[in-house]
Chain A
Amino acid sequence: MSPISRGFHRRHQADEPAGRVPPGQYVTKDFPVLSAGPTPHTRLENWTFSIDGGQTAASWTWTEFQALPAEKVTVDIHCVTRWSKLDTAWTGVSLDTLLAAVSYDAPYVLAFCDGGYTTNLPVADLTGGQAWVAYSYDGGPLPAEHGGPARLLVPHLYFWKSAKWVRGLRLRDVDEPGFWEMYGYHMYGDPWREQRYAGD
């Protein structure tokens, strides 16, 4: 039984349609920045996106990546630190397109990034029109502090899974923890089930 805090009350009236905001989240109009270290700045001529660990591998330069079919998506995003942002507009390449370029049967990936960040995801959460590598936000280039030049966009999971500065995916047979997952955050991170920390 939770203790009642007398005098405490809701201050922010929810004006979002029911079902838009997961439990324990509040809506912000800002776009907060959370990272564990300095923002890396990789020159586009040195940037590649690669997928390895399967039976075949693939890699794209920035120019090649820009030539891939792009999708514009508008999605809600949910950060484990409890802010949610609705109707964010992105342009990127679907993971369906990228994973179709390799042959694999591994059920998991570890996304790797400039700066050393990693995060683990099931392949099933990256396919079927659920995930992108996004390089444009709100009509412009993705700012570096928000993960530019390109970041993962997996909006149905907590946003730490949408790895900033992503440089590739490593296909894996077993689900091994990435950076925040090593520090006690949830292996899967479903905001609708409030999977914030290990054991939630």
Chain B
Amino acid sequence: MAGTAVRGRLTWQTATVSSVADETARVRTITLSVPDWAGHRAGQHLDVRLTADDGYVAERSYSIASAPGEPLAITVERLDDGEVSPYLTEDLRPDDEIEIRGPIGGYFVWDPPGQAPLLLLAGGSGVVPLRAILRHRSRTGSSVPARLLYSARSLGEVIYQAELAQPADGVEVIYTLTREQPPGWSGYARRVDQPMVAEVAWPVARAPVAYACGPTNFVEAVAADLVALGYQPVKVKTERFGATGGG
């Protein structure tokens, strides 16, 4: 598990909102203009700091949704009992300023060109850093085959739906809709389980690398399933979040 050392102080920078776009009823992508952004790797996250007029400060981490070289964007899911995410998804407007610092995290990242087939496993808004990986793959002309298994409660909760409907060459997107399916739905319609992961996963012989991001239960399940299929644990990178009530 050796990695590239990341050194140097992360300082807070003022970012200006250049646009906001609703992805679903609860999810919004916020594109930021940051004059001194040092760049990032696909899969990393950043910290957001909001300051209220009474001086109260709150910080949260969000996955970066954009590929390296694109205008910096985060995609935020509103948590009803959250503090920062309701503001970011409902109140924030273009030209508003917020503070950010990053990029953060050097393990859950993918760098091109890559040789190993990519297996991406998303639970809900866990798709965000995986979307950054897919965009980076596409923008850099990488030809590694990629599969995304995306578990969402319903089609209406699928983030980046239009974009994922037209995947780049060599990319397959496979959905499972766990609660509600549209009429005529032919995809999976259950929570991820071992048979589903076995059907979707690249054979071990192809030396794939897997990235799983989502709620704890989802990530625990798919990571265990992949190890049971023979994936080396070090080739299964995970990023997990629970409903902590804080976002």
Binding between chains A and B: yes
Hey, which bits of chain A sit against chain B, CB under 8 A? Answer: 2-12, 24, 26, 28-40, 81-83, 115-118, 145, 177, 179, 182-184, 197-200
Residue of B nearest to A6 (CB): B53
> Which residues of chain B have C-beta atoms less than 8 A from A197's C-beta?
9-10, 104
Interface contact A81-B61, CB-CB below 8 Å: yes
- Supposing A37-B233, A39-B223, A198-B6 touch, asked if A2 and B51 sit within 8 A by C-beta, the answer is yes
Interface contact A38-B87, CB-CB below 8 Å: no
Interface contact A184-B56, CB-CB below 8 Å: no
Please give the distance in Å from A2's CB to the nearest CB on chain B.
4
Interface contact B245-A28, CB-CB below 8 Å: yes
Contact check: which of A3, A5, A145, A199 meets B8 at CB < 8 Å? Answer: A199
Please give the distance in Å from A196's CB to the nearest CB on chain B.
8
Interface contact A37-B106, CB-CB below 8 Å: no
Hey, which bits of chain B sit against chain A, CB under 8 A? Answer: 1-10, 12, 14, 49-54, 56-61, 82-83, 86-87, 91-92, 96-99, 104-108, 216, 219-220, 223-224, 226-227, 233-234, 236-238, 240-246
Interface contact B60-A82, CB-CB below 8 Å: yes
Contact check: which of B8, B82, B223 meets A37 at CB < 8 Å? Answer: B223
Interface contact B233-A10, CB-CB below 8 Å: no
Interface contact A116-B246, CB-CB below 8 Å: no
> How many inter-chain contacts with C-beta < 8 Å in the A-B complex?
145
> Which residues of chain A have C-beta atoms less than 8 A from B2's C-beta?
182
10 A-B residue pairings within 8 Å (CB atoms):
A3-B14, A3-B51, A8-B50, A8-B87, A31-B242, A32-B216, A33-B242, A36-B237, A39-B223, A200-B9
Residue of B nearest to A2 (CB): B51
Residue of A nearest to B220 (CB): A145
Contact check: which of B5, B91, B99, B223 meets A3 at CB < 8 Å? Answer: B99
Contact check: which of A29, A36, A179, A183 meets B6 at CB < 8 Å? Answer: A183
Please give the distance in Å from A41's CB to the nearest CB on chain B.
8
Interface contact A9-B56, CB-CB below 8 Å: yes
Interface contact B220-A39, CB-CB below 8 Å: yes
> Which residues of chain B have C-beta atoms less than 8 A from A5's C-beta?
50-52, 87, 91-92, 96, 98
Please give the distance in Å from B8's CB to the nearest CB on chain A.
6
Please give the distance in Å from A14's CB to the nearest CB on chain B.
10
Please give the distance in Å from B99's CB to the nearest CB on chain A.
6
Interface contact B83-A10, CB-CB below 8 Å: yes
Interface contact A34-B237, CB-CB below 8 Å: no
- Per DSSP, chain A at the interface is loop
> Which residues of chain B have C-beta atoms less than 8 A from A34's C-beta?
240-241
Please give the distance in Å from B111's CB to the nearest CB on chain A.
14
Interface contact B49-A2, CB-CB below 8 Å: yes
Contact check: which of A2, A83, A177 meets B5 at CB < 8 Å? Answer: A177
Q: How far is the CA of A116 from the CA of B107 in the complex (A)?
A: 13
- Supposing A10-B52, A30-B245, A32-B244 touch, asked if A2 and B6 sit within 8 A by C-beta, the answer is no
Contact check: which of B52, B223, B233, B246 meets A8 at CB < 8 Å? Answer: B52
Q: How far is the CA of A177 from the CA of B245 in the complex (A)?
A: 32
Please give the distance in Å from B191's CB to the nearest CB on chain A.
17
Interface contact B226-A30, CB-CB below 8 Å: no
Contact check: which of A4, A36, A83, A200 meets B52 at CB < 8 Å? Answer: A4
Interface contact B6-A40, CB-CB below 8 Å: no
A-B complex: 8 closest residue pairs judged by Cβ atoms:
A199-B9, A184-B6, A183-B106, A38-B223, A3-B97, A32-B242, A2-B51, A116-B1
Q: How far is the CA of A116 from the CA of B224 in the complex (A)?
A: 16
Interface contact B241-A37, CB-CB below 8 Å: no
Please give the distance in Å from A144's CB to the nearest CB on chain B.
9
Residue of B nearest to A35 (CB): B238
Residue of B nearest to A24 (CB): B59
> Which residues of chain B have C-beta atoms less than 8 A from A39's C-beta?
220, 223-224
Interface contact A37-B236, CB-CB below 8 Å: yes
> Which residues of chain B have C-beta atoms less than 8 A from A37's C-beta?
223, 233-234, 236-238
Residue of B nearest to A177 (CB): B5
Q: How far is the CA of A39 from the CA of B237 in the complex (A)?
A: 11
Q: How far is the CA of A31 from the CA of B242 in the complex (A)?
A: 8
